[in-house]
């Protein structure tokens, strides 16, 4: 680390980042990438960073990677009380905590001294996920914790989110009163031009992301069936891992789509970008996102995206310029068909590809890290600023 990279305001500061997962875990996604990029940037700026997260089988409890100290503890359920205990044990030595709220917060302000700054990092509102994954009684508890409980607990904490849509949802759906700053995601680290590969299909559709229920990947897979008559050479490629992998495998078999759909699972970065870059179109059917990191990864390779016009995705996809957004009531297959027809014109495809690459260049992890480091530094400066007491002026005696 060169001295020029070290920020005087961060040098020697001990920052803890509390996040549900870390990037090497099996269902890690954009939120984990974001938290990790922030952690490594703070390290280069001179801070000591502890990354507190859950532990998967066979992972060590303690590890130092890229200068970040990983503390893995508990599973998806026991992480929160164990993290609270960890904070309690180190509460007087920590300088700042980044509390990443994945629906459920880590309750850092309740454990730490009031003078220790806490930054709340929220990618998107999770109320719909609670209702999608949990029984009604548990969903109500989740919404109560995410809403009234968290709103009051974090009312004095600076909040960071990743898009204007998420900021608006925090204000309107959660009644969030704390100050909110938008710090966008970064983008792809590899953005080399990749020539189309006819062996992948003509056209080739790619889904990239975690295979979880709210991503609705089945809607992308079924495009191989719904568009077969209009695009006989169409192939669908799914890149990612998660609990929906097995149901998708069964779906492909039941619908006899094995020649039209390829489930690639997790791919190394180079292979992932090579396949994504050779695609005609990137397609996501997610019902909500904080932003849309995979959209920007595709755009960096000149590949446009078709998505639903929902929170997060309407921020990362510039409708009509870098992709197409399905309006309410529109079928995904019809929007994909319209996009493919437009992309058959070479000049239109080149123009859209150039617009995608230009848009993606606006989002870098360096920019994300720099903005977060500046916020951390300002919070630390406010903590350690001396209290200025105005001198008392004696009343004049007439």
For residue 257, what is the domain's CATH number?
3.40.50.2000
CA distance linking residue 142 with residue 149, whole number of Å: 10
Report yes or no on 72 lying in a domain: yes
366: Cβ–Cβ under 8 A, 6 or more apart, which residues?
41, 186
Report yes or no on 397 lying in a domain: no
Predicted local confidence at residue 385, as pLDDT? 64
Same domain, 8 and 115: yes
Same domain, 182 and 203: no
Answer with the one of 344, 360, 376 that is the final residue of a domain: 360
Same domain, 169 and 61: yes
From residue 267, give the alpha-carbon distance in Å to each of 47, 233, 303, 343: 32, 24, 18, 27
Report yes or no on 124 lying in a domain: yes
Same domain, 203 and 351: yes
Same domain, 100 and 175: yes
Same domain, 169 and 206: no
273 touches 236 (CB < 8 A): no
- Cis before 203? omega within 30: yes
pTM above 0.85, yes or no: no
Same domain, 14 and 159: yes
Q: What residues in the chain have per-residue pLDDT under 50?
A: 1-4, 387-398
Same domain, 226 and 371: no
Predicted local confidence at residue 189, as pLDDT? 57
13: Cβ–Cβ under 8 A, 6 or more apart, which residues?
46, 47, 48, 95, 96, 376, 380
Same domain, 168 and 261: no
112: Cβ–Cβ under 8 A, 6 or more apart, which residues?
87, 91, 94, 97, 118
Report yes or no on 84 lying in a domain: yes
- Going 225 to 231 to 235 to 240, the CA torsion angle's sign is negative
73 touches 86 (CB < 8 A): yes
Q: Which residues pair with 238 in a beta bridge?
A: 207, 263
Report yes or no on 50 lying in a domain: yes
Report yes or no on 191 lying in a domain: no
Same domain, 93 and 30: yes
Predicted local confidence at residue 42, as pLDDT? 97
Q: Supply the range of the domain harboring residue 127.
A: 3-186+364-384
Same domain, 245 and 120: no
Predicted local confidence at residue 6, as pLDDT? 60
Predicted local confidence at residue 199, as pLDDT? 81
Report yes or no on 395 lying in a domain: no
- Going 363 to 364 to 369 to 371, the CA torsion angle's sign is negative
If one counts the domains in the chain, the total is: 2
356: Cβ–Cβ under 8 A, 6 or more apart, which residues?
298, 299, 300, 301, 302, 303, 304, 322, 323
Same domain, 7 and 60: yes
CA distance linking residue 272 with residue 177, whole number of Å: 40
Predicted local confidence at residue 198, as pLDDT? 75
């Amino acid at each position: 680390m060169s001295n020029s990279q070290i920020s005087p305001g961060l040098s020697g500061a001990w920052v803890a980042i509390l996040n549900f997962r870390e990037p090497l875990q099996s269902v890690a996604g954009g939120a984990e990438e974001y938290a990790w990029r922030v952690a490594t940037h703070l390290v280069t700026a001179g801070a000591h960073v502890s990354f507190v997260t859950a532990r998967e089988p066979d992972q060590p409890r303690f590890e130092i990677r890229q200068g970040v100290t990983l503390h893995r503890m508990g599973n998806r359920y026991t992480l929160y009380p164990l993290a609270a205990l960890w904070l309690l044990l180190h509460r007087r030595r920590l300088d700042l905590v980044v509390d990443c709220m994945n629906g459920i917060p880590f309750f850092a302000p309740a454990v730490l001294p009031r003078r220790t700054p806490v930054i709340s990092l929220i990618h998107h509102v999770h109320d719909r996920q609670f209702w999608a994954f949990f029984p009604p009684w548990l969903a109500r508890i989740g919404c109560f914790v995410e809403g009234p409980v968290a709103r009051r607990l974090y009312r004095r904490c600076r909040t960071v989110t990743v898009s204007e849509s998420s900021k608006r949802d925090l204000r309107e759906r959660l009644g969030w009163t704390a100050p909110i700053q938008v710090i966008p995601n970064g983008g792809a680290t590899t953005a080399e031009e990749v020539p189309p590969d006819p062996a992948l299909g003509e056209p080739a559709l790619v889904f990239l992301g975690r295979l979880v229920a709210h991503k609705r990947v089945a809607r992308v897979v079924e495009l191989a069936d719904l568009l077969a008559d209009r695009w006989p050479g169409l192939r669908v490629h799914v890149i990612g891992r998660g609990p929906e992998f097995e149901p998708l495998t069964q779906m492909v078999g039941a619908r006899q789509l094995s020649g039209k759909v390829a489930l690639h699972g997790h791919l190394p970065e180079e292979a992932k970008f090579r396949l994504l870059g050779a695609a005609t179109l990137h397609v996501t059917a997610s019902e909500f996102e904080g932003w849309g990191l995979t959209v920007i990864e595709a755009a960096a390779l000149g590949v446009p995206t078709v998505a639903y016009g929902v929170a997060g995705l309407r921020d990362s996809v510039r409708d009509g310029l870098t992709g197409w957004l399905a309006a309410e009531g529109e079928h995904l297959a019809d929007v994909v068909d319209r996009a493919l027809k437009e992309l058959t014109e070479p000049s239109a495809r080149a123009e859209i590809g150039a617009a995608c690459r230009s848009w993606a260049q606006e989002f870098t992890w360096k920019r994300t890290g720099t903005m977060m480091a500046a916020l951390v530094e300002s919070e630390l400066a406010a903590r350690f600023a001396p209290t200025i007491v105005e001198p008392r002026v004696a009343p004049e005696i007439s």
